[in-house]
Structure formats: structure tokens, C-alpha cells
């Protein structure tokens, strides 16, 4: 359903690039992944948004790689709202809809609902990485909901490295299964890199391994808006946009 279309991908990248170039006052902040929480492309990082910041957005996810797609027949549209407070706690509520479904079907009306909680244990130091634990779709994990399509429990560490010509943000983590749930989106080691020409650059490249496949993406920031597009498994197009705002 979501196999690569080179023309569509090229248009998306070019549109995002020229939109960023045409805007001023570029701001950089902790960025959202396609899951709706702070991360790289699809993998989490040990970063959270600034305290009392809310993010909202929409991301497209290929049905061929989703646990909520009727065996890959329907791509996903993710609508999220994410909040950081206390100031190390990040919570996210997300609706996931199977796209192009019959409008009268049960899944089209109710959609999948999930919550994620992430706690920053240690902030990154000069010589030490940040450390975070996360519980994704935790209602299913702890038995409080019937369906659990996107479960993932993980610990992740992140460390930035600033060199002469490039700024690199490295994350590595481990996802574990508390309930032997086969629907978990991550299982085992995952890792990723984000490359920029400088720390506050609006344009970055991402390469990651999500515990199942290699992914690559480009991410652009302008003001409080983020646009991202890339390839899941180096084959399926994914991406979307989000906006952050202090409250």
C-alpha cells in the first residue's frame, strides 16, 4: 500500500526545504518522532521537550509495517497531543486511524487510542549521556485496555557530540516485553544518529535501527513547526508534521 514513489518523496523533500529556507527566526527544540513522542524518526531518544510545552501533529505510517492495518491493507494516520511537565515527565495521547476504510466501519468511527509516558531519569551531562525510561501504549501493557497494537517498554540513553564540521546526536536503547505481547513495535536493541552541520541548524539527517529494520529520514525545523519525511525499512514512505507551543 505504501511502497516508495520516488516523485512523491522528491516533491515532499523539496517543498520542505524551500519552505524552511524562505522563513526566518529558525528555532531548534526537542523533536517529535512519527510515534508522537520525542525521538528520531520512529525510535525514541532520552530527550523531552522543555517544561510546560505541548506538541500536536499528524504523521503517516505505512500499513505494511503496522500492527493496526488488517494485515497490511490499510496505512495509518496518527494524530497526537504531547505534553511535558514536572519537568521530566512527558505524556502523549494518540489516535491512530486506518486510512481509506469504509466510513461506517467500527475502526473508522472509534479508531485506536493509546497513551505513552516517558520519564527522564538523568539529564545529559558534559561527559555523561541522558537516560530515560518509556512505557508506550501502557494501557495494554498493564492490562487496563483490551487492545494493545503499539506496545513498547524501553530504556534509552542519548549523548550529543559536537565536532568541527558536524553536530551528532547518538541514541541507543533496549526495548523489553513485560507481558510477552507479540504486538510490541520494538523488541531488543535499537539505535540511531541525527546529523546536523551545527547544533541549531534547521535541517538534519537521521539514520536508525528500530530493532527490526533500518530507516532513514530528513527533518526540518522552522519556528515551532517540524516537518519530517523518510523511508521505513528503506522502502516505505512515512512522515508528517507537528507544532510545539509553550503553555
Cell representation of residue 15: 517543498
What's the predicted TM-score (pTM) here? 0.80
- Is the pLDDT confidence value at 8 over 80? no
Of residues 67 and 221, the one with the higher pLDDT is 221
The predicted-structure confidence for 210-236, as pLDDT tens digits, reads as follows: 999 999 999 998 878 999 999 999 999
What confidence score (pLDDT) does residue 185 get?
77
Of residues 185 and 184, the one with the higher pLDDT is 185
- Is the pLDDT confidence value at 164 over 90? no
- Exposure string for 183-213, b = 16+ CB within 10 A, e = fewer: bbbbbeebbbbbebeeeeebbbebbbbbbee
Q: Which residues pair with 160 in a beta bridge?
A: 169
pLDDT confidence tier of residue 139, bands split at 50, 70 and 90: low
Of residues 205 and 16, the one with the higher pLDDT is 205
DSSP code of 66?
A: -
What average pLDDT is seen over the chain?
81
What confidence score (pLDDT) does residue 239 get?
95
Amino acid at each position: 500500500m505504501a511502497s516508495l514513489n520516488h516523485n512523491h518523496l522528491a516533491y515532499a523533500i523539496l517543498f520542505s526545504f524551500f519552505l524552511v529556507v524562505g522563513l526566518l527566526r529558525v528555532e531548534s527544540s526537542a523533536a517529535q518522532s512519527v510515534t508522537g513522542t520525542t525521538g528520531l524518526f520512529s525510535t525514541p531518544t532520552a530527550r523531552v521537550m522543555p517544561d510546560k510545552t505541548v506538541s500536536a501533529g499528524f504523521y503517516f505510517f505505512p500499513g505494511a509495517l503496522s500492527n493496526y492495518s488488517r494485515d497490511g491493507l490499510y496505512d495509518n494516520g496518527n494524530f497526537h497531543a504531547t505534553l511535558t511537565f514536572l519537568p521530566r515527565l512527558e505524556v502523549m495521547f494518540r489516535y491512530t486511524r486506518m486510512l481509506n476504510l469504509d466510513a461506517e466501519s467500527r475502526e473508522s468511527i472509534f479508531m485506536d487510542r493509546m497513551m505513552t509516558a516517558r520519564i527522564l531519569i538523568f539529564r545529559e551531562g558534559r561527559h555523561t549521556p541522558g537516560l530515560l525510561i518509556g512505557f508506550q501504549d501502557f494501557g495494554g501493557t498493564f492490562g487496563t485496555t483490551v487492545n494493545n497494537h503499539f506496545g513498547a517498554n524501553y530504556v534509552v540513553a542519548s549523548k550529543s557530540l559536537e565536532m568541527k564540521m558536524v553536530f551528532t546526536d547518538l541514541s541507543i536503547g533496549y526495548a523489553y516485553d513485560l507481558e510477552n505481547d507479540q504486538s510490541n513495535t520494538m523488541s531488543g536493541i535499537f539505535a540511531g544518529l541525527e546529523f546536523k552541520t551545527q547544533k541549531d541548524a534547521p535541517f538534519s539527517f537521521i539514520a536508525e535501527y528500530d530493532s527490526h529494520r533500518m530507516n532513514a529520514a530528513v527533518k526540518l525545523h522552522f519556528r515551532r513547526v517540524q516537518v519530517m519525511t523518510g523511508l521505513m525499512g528503506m522502502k516505505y514512505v512515512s512522515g508528517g508534521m507537528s507544532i510545539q507551543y509553550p503553555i
